[in-house]
Amino acid sequence: MDTFKTLNITPGKALCYSGFRNGQHPGGIFPTYEEVKEDLHLLQNHWKYLRLYDCDQHAETVLKVIRNEKMNFKVMQGAFINAEMNNFNCPWGGGTYPEEVLFHNCVNNRNKILRLTELAGQYPDVIFSLSVGNEVCVEWTDHYVSERKVLEYVKQVKRNVVQPVTLCENYVPWLYKLEKLADEVDFISIHTYPVWEYKHIDEALDYSKENYYSVARKYPGKPVAITEAGWATNSNGRGINPENVNEEYQKIYYEMLMEWVQKENILTFFFEAFDESWKGSPEPLEPEKHWGLFYIDRTPKLAIKNLIRK
């Protein structure tokens, strides 16, 4: 929206990027410089903004490639903070941890926030905004952090950087419990996933619009971005009806969403660039593995087949 002008951000085509290939995963084997370079060459003529989720080795490689290869990307850099409290509402039972794990997470999260500010200072020409976490306050998360603590992190980062600061979060918590955080962040970031909420493709765009405008109306004058919106192409039936996901539906949602957000000038990161086999359960049709606009072998899916010529 026009409110982004106050932050010197011009909305453009944006994409969530994580470059982990088969056999790679966070905390294990990371993509190499050449692999990241290959990915970014595929993306560079079609997307302006990339969202990175954590200030880890992968992010450092991406930032180096962009700078060294003189690529015209701007990055939303995130810090992936882990659970500091138990969440007994997590539907898959993954939100409870021993006290020593929660203590370790608190220490590690503080270090990640420090690293986030360091990267912002090292790459001011590449990093255009910062996020202090991802889906940490929504009721179903398995990495719960209180609004009070997230607010502390936001204030800490803002004191030490020049870039705008946000929290990437599902749209629902912004509507009923994140008012103090909304006041402090430079812009609000929401996630909208109609297919996770059992919506058919025919309902999808209207539902995403409803999600977006419900938050925008609650905070008039505050910029609101969509930092995740996407459509899976496979499902094993857990959480998503397999009949509701395929490449054709992803193409329809992608095209409808892009037409709307470009018309309304809403900064929107489509989720995501590439399929990631490390995510979710070991089952091959686990939906978490199948959100990419590209397959894991870097061939394009139907939504962008006419755009990408490898």
Helices (H), 52-200: 57-68, 99-122, 147-160, 171-176, 179-184
Please list the residues that pair with 300 across neighbouring strands.
294
> What are the pLDDT tens digits along the chain (310 aa)?
467 888 989 989 999 999 999 999 999 999 999 999 999 999 999 999 999 999 999 999 999 999 999 999 999 999 999 999 999 999 988 999 999 999 999 999 999 999 999 999 999 999 999 999 999 999 999 999 999 999 999 999 999 999 999 999 999 999 999 999 999 999 999 999 999 999 999 999 999 999 999 999 999 989 999 999 999 999 999 899 999 999 999 999 999 999 999 999 999 999 999 999 999 999 999 999 999 999 999 999 999 998 876 4
pTM: 0.97
Stated as kind and residue range, the H or E segment containing 254 is helix 247-264
CATH of 2-304, one of 1.20.950.20, 3.40.50.620, 3.40.1280.10, 3.20.20.80: 3.20.20.80
- Compute, in degrees rounded to 10, the torsion defined by CA atoms 301, 256, 213, 134: 10
